[in-house]
Amino acid sequence: MVEEAAVESLVPSGTGVPLAGTRLLPVLPVLAPLLPDPGLRRGSVLSVSGAAGATSLLCCLVAAAMAEGSWAAAVGLPALGLEAAARLGVRLDHLALVPDPGGRWAEVVGVLVDSVDLVAVAPPGRCRPADARRLTARARERGAVMVVAGPAGRWPEAVDLRLEVGTPRWHGLGVGDGTLRQRSVTVRSSGRRAAARQRRVRLWLPAPDGGAGADGDGTTPLAGVPGGVGDGAQGGVPCGS
């Protein structure tokens, strides 16, 4: 069981100061076409799901804000590969990790939402509607961005933006030799209000250098209707693998 005091000790005081006056937290340029705003809106809740590459996408979402001084937290993500996460831009010295929060995971997330700019959480099962409403309201009040990872149905509240990673394709193998060097994925986004127009972007996750990059011409808007792309199962692989 993770005690509240132990969670608070993971994050120094004043962690939200660097970008506290901003309405939007920055994102990597390759992700910007997926968003309705030129950054992550404070107080919003996002979901990330899909095939292998979902954890890498989550790392990319927080990288730009961390580069400018924001702190992030990862709750319930024991398979997170720290070396690969660092190659994707995650500042390990600004990352609070709670791999196994136990049955009080919602309380742990609530404490971290009060303390850092970005909180990524993988609920261990279906979240109680009351907990989801409370955490959503708390993120909105505190101006934090919360990213929910995992299969559809675990988070009963509507999210502001859904990101779904499609089936990946690895590149680099020749005929009988070679090594896997980069992975191409299509990421689709949809959501509420300004995010209702569906979008998709082809990305390298990872690119040959271990980071993220645009695959081809990048973005292809979808002529969909408001609503959404259904979440698939979360990829259970570490970042960059």
> Cα–Cα–Cα angle for 63, 110, 164, nearest 5°?
45
pLDDT at 158: 93
pLDDT value at 74 more than 60: yes
CA 177 – CA 99 distance, rounded (Å):
37
CA 144 – CA 158 distance, rounded (Å):
17
Question: What pLDDT band is residue 195 in, cutting at 50, 70 and 90?
Answer: confident
41, containing H or E segment: strand 40-41
pLDDT, averaged across the chain? 81
> Cα–Cα–Cα angle for 137, 141, 143, nearest 5°?
115
pLDDT at 157: 93
* pTM for this entry: 0.80
Give 5-32 pLDDT, tens digit per residue: 566 666 665 555 445 557 899 999 999 9
Closest CA to 3 of 104, 78, 74, 99: 104
Please state which CATH number belongs to domain 22-165: 3.40.50.300
Average pLDDT over every residue of 27-42: 94
Give 93-152 pLDDT, tens digit per residue: 999 999 999 999 999 999 999 999 999 999 999 999 999 999 999 999 999 999 999 887
Q: Cα dist. 51→37, 70, 154, 234, 236 in Å?
A: 25, 28, 16, 6, 8
Task: Tell me if 192 sits within 8 A of 123, measured CB to CB.
Answer: no
Question: What pLDDT band is residue 235 in, cutting at 50, 70 and 90?
Answer: very low
CA 88 – CA 200 distance, rounded (Å):
20
Both structure tokens of 24:
């939007």
Task: Tell me if 72 sits within 8 A of 116, measured CB to CB.
Answer: yes
Token pair 């506290």 is at which residue? 20
β-bridge mates for residue 184, sequence order: 169, 204
pLDDT at 205: 83
Average pLDDT over every residue of 168-172: 72
Closest CA to 195 of 10, 6, 33: 33
Where do the structural domains in the chain lie, given as residue ranges? Answer: 22-165, 170-219
pLDDT at 14: 53
CA 45 to chain centre: 10
pLDDT value at 227 more than 70: no
79 backbone dihedrals φ, ψ, rounded to 5°: -90, 5
